[in-house]
């Protein structure tokens, strides 16, 4: 049922009311690999639904958007919450202005259980946006964790940075 609503919702168009609004405008913080944040969608604005930016079925609850700066490689994003207190969903976008037709959506997690998880193998380095959104008006507190295995090129850059730092100390 929820998956069908997702498909229908992704086909919806972003409303004119939020024309010109970007995910950067909605972002409440920046995440990187190893980031852990706690939040609560109660009192958050409802911008990420069929009546707003990005499209999406009945996500009429408040949403929290985070900017994700990713160095590349496998990524896991865990949204930890108790579903009985309010169902939350998790979205990962690669576009600052999702088009309401599914454009910009990299992955989503839409279960009706406790917790949500997104895993993407080999996600390219770049800027992404993570949205925590309430289903059918739900709000809830949550913990959001970003972890992953850096791409070999990112590891090489980290290694070179360490060599340069070590070389300067001498």
From residue 81, give the alpha-carbon distance in Å to each of 116, 120, 140, 168.
Answer: 8, 21, 7, 45
Residues 102-127: what's their mean pLDDT? 92
Q: What is the dihedral of CA 33, 39, 40, 43, to 10 degrees?
A: -100
Residues 2-17: what's their mean pLDDT? 40
pLDDT at 10: 36
Burial of 87 (0-12, 13-18, 19+ CB in 10 A): buried
Q: 3-class SS at 170? A: coil
Q: Where are the strands (E) in the chain, listed by range?
A: 27-31, 36-40, 63-70, 73-80, 88-93, 105-109, 116-123, 126-134, 141-150
Query: What is the number of structural domains in the chain?
Result: 1
Q: Which residue has the higher pLDDT, 88 or 162?
A: 88
Lowest mean pLDDT among 3-7, 17-21, 140-144, 158-162: 3-7
Range of the domain at 45: 2-169
Q: Beta strand pairing status for 105-109 and 116-123?
A: unpaired
Confidence of residue 3 (pLDDT cuts 50, 70, 90): very low
Lowest mean pLDDT among 7-11, 101-105, 116-120: 7-11
**What CATH number is given to the structural domain containing 47?**
2.60.120.380
Residues 20-32: what's their mean pLDDT? 89
Token pair for 141: 């507190």
Q: Is pLDDT above 60 for 45?
A: yes
Q: Which residues have C-beta within 8 Å of that of residue 155, sequence separation ≥ 6? A: none
pLDDT at 103: 72
Q: Is pLDDT above 90 for 27?
A: yes
Query: What global pTM score does this model have?
Result: 0.77
């Amino acid at each position: 049922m929820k998956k069908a609503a997702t498909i229908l919702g992704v086909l919806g168009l972003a409303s004119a009311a939020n024309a010109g609004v970007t995910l950067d405008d909605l972002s409440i913080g920046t995440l990187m690999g190893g980031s852990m944040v706690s939040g609560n969608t109660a009192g958050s604005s409802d911008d990420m639904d069929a009546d707003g930016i990005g499209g999406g079925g009945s996500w009429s609850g408040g949403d929290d958007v985070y900017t994700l700066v990713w160095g590349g490689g496998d990524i896991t994003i865990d949204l930890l919450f108790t579903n009985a207190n309010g169902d939350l969903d998790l979205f990962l976008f690669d576009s600052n202005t999702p088009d309401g037709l599914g454009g910009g959506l990299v992955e989503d997690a839409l279960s009706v259980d406790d917790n949500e998880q997104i895993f993407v193998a080999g996600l390219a380095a770049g800027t992404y946006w993570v949205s925590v959104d309430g289903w059918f008006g739900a709000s809830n507190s949550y913990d959001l964790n970003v972890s992953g295995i850096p791409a070999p090129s990112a590891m090489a850059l980290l290694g070179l940075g360490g060599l340069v730092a070590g070389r300067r100390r001498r």
